[in-house]
């Protein structure tokens, strides 16, 4: 069965631009979470969606937003890009919105802001 | 705020050496615990998980971890490492009470296994 698919894999943007990243969860999974991975800060939680509703949000500025569609696919948007937004953005999917279920990660989108 | 600490940032071992990577968390309530591995150029993969029951859990590739509630620890072990175990290892915690499904990760341990 197909894993978590993130597109695009690589992206280069200029400061001030905006970007949209996409995540398709494993078929049948309804929970999608987003994480930012950087060498300095490690893996940090951005937000989590379940059934098109944001369930949890991390400590990121409002420039970071997301949404989930009825087919469970999710998008993450970053507006007014800053150099510090350069990172690997990871998406994870879960079958259910319950503790005790493991998360499966995609390969990530490598965003470089220049 | 909940935090997860991994004490070793870089570990270098020879093949066949034993491995133990430390992980401690700060939250005192009920938690789910995980170890993930990230091989070079690959995505995060689950090595093992603890939800409840036997505190000694076995994962893939010969890895195991022990949950010691009194020490807030979940250390990862492998009796004999292989060159192919070279990767970055992340401990992660989900807080069961009021934490949603948010995974809080440690800063990671870069393991290099030399031939």
All residue ranges of chain A with pLDDT < 50 are none
Determine phi and psi for A84, rounding to 5 degrees.
Answer: -70, -5
User: What does the pLDDT look like over B39-96, one tens digit per residue?
Assistant: 998 889 999 999 989 999 999 999 999 999 999 999 999 999 999 999 999 999 988 7
Q: How far apart are CA A63 and CA A36, in angstroms?
A: 14
Give the nearest chain B residue to A100 (CA atoms).
B51
- E strands along chain A, which residues? 5-7, 10-13, 19-24, 31-38, 42-50, 53-57, 64-68, 74-78, 87-94, 104-105, 109-113
The answer to whether residues A98 and A44 touch, using CB atoms and an 8 Å cutoff, is no
Number of Cβ within 10 Å of residue A97's Cβ equals 16
Q: How confident is the model at residue B98 (pLDDT cuts 50, 70, 90)?
A: low
From the centroid of its chain, how far is CA B62?
Answer: 13
Residue among A17, A33, A13, A23 nearest A86 (CA):
A13
Omega before B64 cis (within 30°)? Answer: no
Q: Is A85 an interface residue toward B (CB < 8 Å)?
A: no
Name chain B contacts of A99, Cβ cutoff 8 Å.
32, 51, 94, 96, 101
Give the nearest chain A residue to B3 (CA atoms).
A44
pLDDT recorded at residue B103: 87
Q: Is the pLDDT of residue B10 over 90?
A: yes
């Amino acid at each position: 069965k197909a894993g978590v698919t993130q597109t695009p894999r690589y992206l280069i943007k200029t400061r001030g631009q905006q970007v949209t990243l996409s995540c398709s969860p494993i078929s049948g999974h309804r929970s999608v979470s987003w994480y930012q991975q950087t060498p300095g800060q490690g893996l940090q939680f951005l937000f989590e969606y379940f059934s098109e509703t944001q369930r949890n949000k991390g400590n990121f500025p409002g420039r970071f937003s997301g949404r989930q569609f009825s087919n469970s696919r999710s998008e993450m948007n970053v507006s007014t890009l800053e150099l510090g937004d350069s990172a690997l953005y990871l998406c994870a999917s879960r079958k259910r919105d319950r503790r005790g279920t493991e998360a499966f990660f995609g390969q990530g989108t490598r965003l470089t802001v220049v | 705020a909940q935090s997860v600490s991994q004490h070793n940032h870089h570990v270098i071992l020879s093949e066949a050496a034993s491995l133990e990577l430390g992980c401690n968390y700060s939250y005192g309530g009920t938690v789910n615990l995980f170890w993930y591995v990230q091989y070079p150029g690959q995505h995060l993969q689950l090595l093992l998980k603890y939800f409840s029951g036997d505190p000694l859990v076995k994962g893939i590739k010969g890895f195991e971890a022990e949950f010691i509630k009194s020490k807030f620890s979940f250390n990862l072990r492998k009796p004999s490492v292989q060159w192919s175990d070279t990767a970055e290892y992340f401990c992660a915690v989900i807080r069961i009470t009021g934490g949603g499904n948010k995974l809080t990760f440690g800063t990671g341990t870069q393991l290099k296994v030399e031939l």
